[in-house]
Amino acid sequence: MIIRTLIVSMFILLTALPASAQLDRLFKSLGGDEKGGGLSDVKIGSGLKEALQVGTGNAVNLTGKTDGYFLNQ
């Protein structure tokens, strides 16, 4: 049991490291580094508001119809 847990944890660690590097590269390409550039607070706020509006609209359209909530698997 201990060996199985050790193998699974090593697998998770080895697969998480490349994903972390890819996220780092993505943030740098978006201008998330400390050397100027990047997104302003206003632009981030407007993007979040738009994402909330779209998500809320999709949820209302899906659950607002007859049996849209209770019969949704």
Task: Report d(CA 68, CA 73) in Å as an integer.
Answer: 10
Q: Indicate if 30 and 49 belong to the same structural domain.
A: no
How many domains is the chain built from?
2
C-alpha dist (Å) from residue 37 to 3, 23, 31, 57 = 48, 18, 6, 32
Q: Indicate if 43 and 67 belong to the same structural domain.
A: yes
pLDDT at 53: 93
pLDDT digits (tens, 9 = 90+) for 25-44: 777 777 655 555 577 888 88
Task: Report d(CA 58, CA 45) in Å as an integer.
Answer: 20
Q: Indicate if 25 and 49 belong to the same structural domain.
A: no
pLDDT at 56: 92
pLDDT at 30: 74
Domain that holds residue 12: 1-34
Banded pLDDT at 24 (limits 50, 70, 90): confident
Q: Indicate if 43 and 30 belong to the same structural domain.
A: no
* 38-54 average pLDDT score: 88
Q: Indicate if 23 and 44 belong to the same structural domain.
A: no
Q: Indicate if 2 and 29 belong to the same structural domain.
A: yes
Q: Residue 42: is it exposed, middle or buried by C-beta count within 10 angstroms (0-12/13-18/19+)?
A: exposed
**Overall size of the chain counted in residues:** 73
